[in-house]
Structure 1
Amino acid sequence: MLRKIEIVLPVDETDKLNEILEDYKVLDRYKISLLEDQALYLITLNVENSGPLLDELEKKLAFAEGFRLNMLEVEATIPAVKMDEENDKNKEDKAITDEDSEDKQEEKNNTTKGLSRQELYADISDSINLNSNYILMCLLSAIVASSGVMLDNVAVIVGAMVIAPLLGPNVGMALASTLGDMELGKKAFKASLYGAGAALIVALIAGLILSPDSWPHEVLSRTSVGWGDITLALASGSAGTLAFTTGTSGAVIGVMIAVALMPPLVVVGILLGAGEFFMAGGALMLFISNIICINLAGVLTFIYQGIRPLNWWEEKKAETSRKYSLFLWIVLLTLLIIGIQFIQ
C-alpha cells in the first residue's frame, strides 16, 4: 500500500525537511513553489514508512508557522511499483553505519507495523462518532438480531451483525488504554454505552411482546459462558484491532465483533422483558465476558503492533494506562475463568 503526503511549509524550513527525508526511502518527491515564503512538497512512499516519517515531521516541523500536512491513500499509480525491487532497495538504504543510525532504526522499529499512528487515530475517531446514524444502525441491528434469535434463524442473526457498528467503539477503548488517551476513551465508552442501551431497549420491548412457551436454541445457547465463547471473543478483539492497524477492510471483522456482543445483548433484553431473570443473568455474564476479552485482546494487539505516543511524557502516561488496563482485564478474565470452572 502507498501513501501520498502533502506538506505545506515555510521556505526557510525546506532544508530541515530535506534533511529529514534523507533518512527515508520515498518513491518520489516534488517541490512546488506557492508564495514567496511557502512551498508545497508532494511525497509518495510505502505505508510502512509513513508512520516513522510522520512522527519525525511532527516533532521537528509541526510548530513552524504555516505548516500543514495531509496524508492520502493512493488507490492506484502508473507506472506500477515493483514491490520486490523496492523492498531490496529499502534493505540496502537501511544499512546501519553509526550509532545515530542505530537509534533511528530502533525508533522506526518501535512504530506501528501498519498504518501510521495519526491515520489509525483518525480512522477510529471517525468510527465512534455518536450521532443519529450510529444510534439508528444500533436500533436496526437490534431489531434484526432479536428477530433472528426468536426465529432461531442463524442467517438473520448474521444479517444483523453486518449492520451492527460495534467494531469502532470497542477498538477505540483498547486504543485509548494503549495510548493513555482519556478523551478518546470517554468518547469510545460513551458510544459503546449508548449503542448497547439502544439495542437493550429494543430487546426489552421484544421480550415484553413475545412470550413463547419454549425458548429457541439461539436464545438458550447464549445464557451461559463457555471456553468457546472466550476464545471467540479473544480472536474477535485481536482481529478487529488488526483490521484497523493494517488498513484492511473491517467489514468482515466487524461481523465477528458483533457476533460476540449483539446477540448476547439482545438475549439479555428479551429475557428481562419476559421476566426470565435467571437466564437473563447468564446472558449478561456472557456479554460482559465478551467485553473483557475483546478489550484485553485489543490492548495486547496494539502493544504488539508497536502503537505508542509520540512524546516521552505522553509515553509515561500511556505506560501507566497500559499496566492498569492489562491488570484490570486480566484479573476480570481470571475471575471469569474461575467462575466457569466452579459452575462446571
Structure 2
Amino acid sequence: MRYLEITVPADRRRAILDVLDEEGIEYVVTEEVTASAVDDAAVVRLPLPTRAVEPVLDRLADAGLEAGRVVVIDAQTVVSSEFDDLLERYSRGGTRGPRTSRQVLRTKADEFTPSLSVYLVMLLISAVVATAGLLADSPAVVVGSMVIAPLLGPALAASVGIVTGDDDLRSTGFRYQTLGVAIVILASIGLATLARLGGLEPGGVDIVVVAELEERVSPNLLSIAVALGAGVAGILSLTRGFSEAIVGVMIAAALIPPAAAVGITAAWGMYGAAVGALVLVVVNVLSINLAALVTLWVAGYRPQGLFDVSPTRKRTATYGVVFGVALLVLAAPLAGITLLEFQATQLKSSADEAVADALEEPEHADLEEESVEVVLDDDYPVRSIDRVVVAVRGPDPGPDPELSDRIYERIVESEGPVVVEVRYLVGEQRGQRDTSGDWIGKLIVHTAGDGR
C-alpha cells in the first residue's frame, strides 16, 4: 500500500478532485503555505493500493498535475471499507501481488545506483577478489567477489530509463555499466601481471587449465541463459519486491568473473582466450539489458507519456532491436563452441565403445582401459578437436601396434578422420600398484592415426 501527498495548484484543484471522486478514492485536502513556486497550493493526501498508484497518477497527469508535486510513501495498513473496495478493484480478479508504479520504479532504480566514488571502490575490491579467486581456482572466493559488486542498479537503470523516458537514468545506467566492466578488466590485468611477475605462473602449464578460468574463456550458448535470467530476475526484484541482494549476486555472476578472466588471460599473453572472455562479457551485458527491457514491456511498463510526454515508445523499440541484433551476432561464435562441445562428447562416447570392443579380443585379455580423453587445441576462443588420447594398462613392456590400429580404425569408422594417441601404462607385473592405488610403471605413447 502507498500513501500519497499531492501538492495541487489552485487552478487545477477542482479537476484533480473530480478524478479522485470518480475513482472512489478517499482523500483529505488541506490549505498550506508552501515555499514552492506553486501559489495558493493545497495538499491532497490519500491512500492507494500499490497497483493503483500508476493508473491514478496517469489520470491525474491528464487532468493537469504537471505543475504539482507528488510524494509516495509506504503505508503499513489502512482501515477503511472504501479502501477495501478500492483494493479489491485493483487486485485484478483476486491477485493482490504488488506491482510497483513507473514513478516508484524510477526512484528505486536510481536508489540502487550508488555514487560514482563508492561504485568504483567496491568494483576495485570485487575485481581484486575475483582475480585472486580465479588464479587460486577457488569457487568460494569467486562467489565472494560477486556478493560485494554493486551492479544491480546500473544493470537495470538503463532499461528503466528507456521505458520511462528518463534520459538521465538511462545514460547513467549505460555509463556505469561500461565504466564498471572497464575497471574490473584493468584491475585484473594489473593484479594478474603482478602475480605472474611474482612467479605464480604454473611452469609449463597453460593458465586456462584452471577450472574457474576455462569455462569463461571458451563460453557456450548456455552462458547466455545466466545473463538472461539475471535480467529478468532483476526487473522482477524491482517491480515485485523480491530480494534485491540475491538478484544482485546473480547479475554480478554474469559480469565480474568473465571480466576478471579477460584481465588474467591478457596478462598471460593469451589474447585469443582474452577475446573469448571479452565476448562473454559483452554478450552478458547485452543479455541483461535485453531481458530487462523485454520484461518491463511484458509487465506493462510501456511508454505512455508520464508527466512529460515524450516519444519513448520508438526509442524502446529501437534499443530492443539493437540489443537483439548485437546479441545474435555475438552469439554466433558461442553457437560454434556449443557445437564443438557436442561433437567432443559424441566422439568420446564413440571412442569409449571402440576401446571396449578392441579390448574384448582374446589377444588383449591382459590389458585394461585406463581412460579416454578428447583433447582440444589451444586456438581460443573457437577451438577444434586436436586428438583422442586413449590410455590402457598392462604388463607388457612395449606398445601394441595392432591394438592401436584397431582402436583407430573403429573410431574413424564412426566419427571420421582424427588423430588417435594410445598410451600404454606398463607395470613390472600384472596388478602391481603403489599405496595410493595407482598403477606402477612407465608410459609408452603410440600414435595410431595421423587424421589424414
TM-score in same-fold range (> 0.5)? yes
Residues 181, 34 of structure 1: alpha-carbon distance in 2 compared, 3 angstrom cutoff: closer
Q: Map 1:119-158 onto structure 2 (within 5 A).
A: 119-158=104-143
Within the candidate set 43, 48, 58, 1:40 is matched to 43
- Greater relative contact order: 1 or 2 (C-alpha under 8 angstroms, separation 6 or more)? 1
- Look up the match of 1:239: 233
Which of 308-317 and 197-206 deviates more? 308-317
- Look up the match of 1:166: 151
Task: Using the TM superposition, give the Cα deviation of residue 90 of structure 1 relative to its aligned residue in structure 2, in angstroms.
Answer: 4.8
Which SS does the other structure have where 2:217 is aligned?
coil
Residues 123, 271 of structure 1: alpha-carbon distance in 2 compared, 3 angstrom cutoff: same
Residues 321, 12 of structure 1: alpha-carbon distance in 2 compared, 3 angstrom cutoff: closer
Contact kept, 8 Å, 1:223 with 1:279, in 2: the verdict is: yes
Task: Using the TM superposition, give the Cα deviation of residue 179 of structure 1 relative to its aligned residue in structure 2, in angstroms.
Answer: 4.4
**In the aligned structure 2, how far is the partner of 1:194 from the partner of 1:337?**
23
Which of 30-39 and 264-273 deviates more? 30-39
Which of 243-252 and 297-306 deviates more? 243-252
Query: Which structure shows the bigger proportion of residues in helix conformation?
Result: 1
Contact kept, 8 Å, 2:188 with 2:260, in 1: the verdict is: yes
- Look up the match of 2:74: 73
Task: Using the TM superposition, give the Cα deviation of residue 182 of structure 1 relative to its aligned residue in structure 2, in angstroms.
Answer: 4.2
Task: Using the TM superposition, give the Cα deviation of residue 315 of structure 1 relative to its aligned residue in structure 2, in angstroms.
Answer: 7.2
Which of 280-289 and 327-336 deviates more? 327-336
Structure 1: which amino acid aligns with 2:5?
E
1:220 and 2:214 are equivalent in the alignment: yes
Residues 21-73 of structure 1: CA distance to partner in whole angstroms, max 9, x if unpaired? 134354x4223332594332221111100011122223323344xx3221112
Task: Using the TM superposition, give the Cα deviation of residue 252 of structure 1 relative to its aligned residue in structure 2, in angstroms.
Answer: 0.7
- Look up the match of 2:348: none
- Look up the match of 2:255: 261
Contact kept, 8 Å, 2:114 with 2:150, in 1: the verdict is: no
Contact kept, 8 Å, 2:3 with 2:72, in 1: the verdict is: yes
- Look up the match of 1:105: none
Q: Structure 2 unaligned runs (5+)?
A: 34-38, 341-452
Contact kept, 8 Å, 1:130 with 1:191, in 2: the verdict is: no
Structure 2: which amino acid aligns with 1:230?
I
Which SS does the other structure have where 1:331 is aligned?
helix
**In the aligned structure 1, how far is the partner of 2:91 from the partner of 2:114?**
40
Contact kept, 8 Å, 2:3 with 2:73, in 1: the verdict is: yes
Task: Using the TM superposition, give the Cα deviation of residue 10 of structure 1 relative to its aligned residue in structure 2, in angstroms.
Answer: 3.7
Residues 95-134 of structure 1: CA distance to partner in whole angstroms, max 9, x if unpaired? xxxxxxxxxxxxxxxxxx8211111112223333552111
**In the aligned structure 2, how far is the partner of 1:14 from the partner of 1:43?**
14
Residues 230, 83 of structure 1: alpha-carbon distance in 2 compared, 3 angstrom cutoff: farther
1:58 and 2:61 are equivalent in the alignment: yes
Structure 1: which amino acid aligns with 2:13?
T
**In the aligned structure 1, how far is the partner of 2:254 from the partner of 2:176?**
17
- Look up the match of 1:100: none
Which of 151-160 and 290-299 deviates more? 151-160
Q: Map 1:1-344 onto structure 2 (within 5 A).
A: 2-11=1-10, 13-24=12-23, 26=25, 28-35=26-33, 37-64=40-67, 67-74=68-75, 76-77=76-77, 87-88=87-88, 90=90, 114-179=99-164, 181-211=166-196, 212-213=201-202, 214=205, 215=207, 216-311=210-305, 317-343=311-337, 344=340
How many residue pairs match? The answer is 320
Task: Using the TM superposition, give the Cα deviation of residue 82 of structure 1 relative to its aligned residue in structure 2, in angstroms.
Answer: 12
Q: So what's the TM-score if we normalise by structure 1?
A: 0.83
Structure 1: which amino acid aligns with 2:30?
I
**In the aligned structure 1, how far is the partner of 2:183 from the partner of 2:53?**
39
Residues 314, 340 of structure 1: alpha-carbon distance in 2 compared, 3 angstrom cutoff: farther
- Look up the match of 2:366: none
- Look up the match of 1:99: none
Structure 2: which amino acid aligns with 1:276?
M
Residues 317, 16 of structure 1: alpha-carbon distance in 2 compared, 3 angstrom cutoff: closer
**In the aligned structure 2, how far is the partner of 1:138 from the partner of 1:256?**
15
Which SS does the other structure have where 1:295 is aligned?
helix
Residues 257-276 of structure 1: CA distance to partner in whole angstroms, max 9, x if unpaired? 10000110011111112222
**In the aligned structure 1, how far is the partner of 2:303 from the partner of 2:236?**
18
**In the aligned structure 2, how far is the partner of 1:195 from the partner of 1:91?**
40
What is the RMSD of the two structures over their aligned residues, measured on CA atoms?
A: 3.0
Q: Structure 1 unaligned runs (5+)?
A: 95-112
Residues 265-316 of structure 1: CA distance to partner in whole angstroms, max 9, x if unpaired? 0111111122221211111111111112111111111111111334299777
**In the aligned structure 2, how far is the partner of 1:315 from the partner of 1:89?**
28
Q: Percent identity?
A: 29
**In the aligned structure 2, how far is the partner of 1:223 from the partner of 1:155?**
20
Structure 1: which amino acid aligns with 2:271?
F
Residues 46, 235 of structure 1: alpha-carbon distance in 2 compared, 3 angstrom cutoff: same
**In the aligned structure 2, how far is the partner of 1:317 from the partner of 1:43?**
31
Structure 2: which amino acid aligns with 1:69?
V
Which SS does the other structure have where 1:309 is aligned?
coil
Q: Of the two, which has the highest radius of gyration?
A: 2
Residues 86, 49 of structure 1: alpha-carbon distance in 2 compared, 3 angstrom cutoff: closer
Q: So what's the TM-score if we normalise by structure 2?
A: 0.64
Which of 321-330 and 274-283 deviates more? 321-330
